[in-house]
Amino acid sequence: MSDAPRRFRPGKEYKVILVGDPCVGKTAFVRRFVANQFDPSYKATLGVEYSSKVVEISRDLQVKVNLWDVVGQERFRAMTRAFYKGACGAFVLFDVTDEETFGQVVTWKKDIDEKVSLPSGRPIPCLLLANKIDLEAKVSDDTLQQFAEDHKFFAHVKTSVKKNTNIEVAVSILIKEMLRLDKEGFMRDAKKPEGSESTIMLTSNPSESTSISCPC
């Protein structure tokens, strides 16, 4: 038997969007997950930044996750429909030290539900991320739990990008939910016959630009 490393051959490929107010840690989350890097200061995203990583679920299944870090500034909110197109899942982030960013989660969730859905018409699965738990939180666990249930997040996870806490756990939870929905047929267009493509593939890379220093 050859000792050569196995090549990754993704069996599934999913587009995942990350949304939330500026400076909640979206870009830091992506870079921590993709490259295990952390920089205490990033520039705010104008438009979208794109990264991808192949995750080995089992010996026989690899999933390529295409992460789209979407602009957080209010003045660019009208652009989000184009960035959401084709998404199979979403992370909605807020900063546990900033109650205003928590309050804006409802707006972001509504924006997603109104602008994108799975091919079957079902809402895409949204995972709520309570980031910066290495700092003093202003949102209690009970409040977070009830909020997630009330606003139809399928799950919520407390994270710290700085301390690398629950980053891979969060991604794994979302991947497993997307795989479940895919297996049950929700990734397929109901108008298409059985056997047609069940996952959404990217056709082009988005443009990206940055400006404004933003501490994470």
The tokens describing 108, both together, are 């972001």
Give domain status of residue 208, yes or no: no
- Report the pLDDT value the prediction gives residue 82, as an integer from 0 to 100: 86
Give pLDDT, residue 60. 87
Residue 152 structure tokens: 């139809």
Interhelix angle 26-35/167-183, nearest 10 degrees = 90
Reading the block at residue 190, the tokens are 């109901």
Question: Does residue 216 lie within any of the structural domains?
Answer: no
Structure tokens at 17: 């969007």
Does 6 reside within a domain? Answer: no
Show Cβ contacts of residue 194 under 8 Å, excluding neighbours closer than 6 positions: 188
pLDDT lower than 70: segments of the chain: 1-10, 41-47, 72-79, 190-216
Instruction: State the total domains in the chain.
Output: 1
End-to-end CA distance of the chain: 47
What tokens appear for 21 in the block?
């107010």
Q: Establish if 37 belongs to a structural domain.
A: yes
CATH code of residue 74: 3.40.50.300
pLDDT of residue 215: 46
Residue 68 lies in a domain: yes
Examine residue 194 and state whether it is found in any structural domain, yes or no: no
Domain range for 41 = 12-188
pLDDT at 132: 97
Question: How much is the pLDDT for 9?
Answer: 59
Q: How far is Cα 50 from Cα 70, in angstroms, rounded to an integer? A: 9
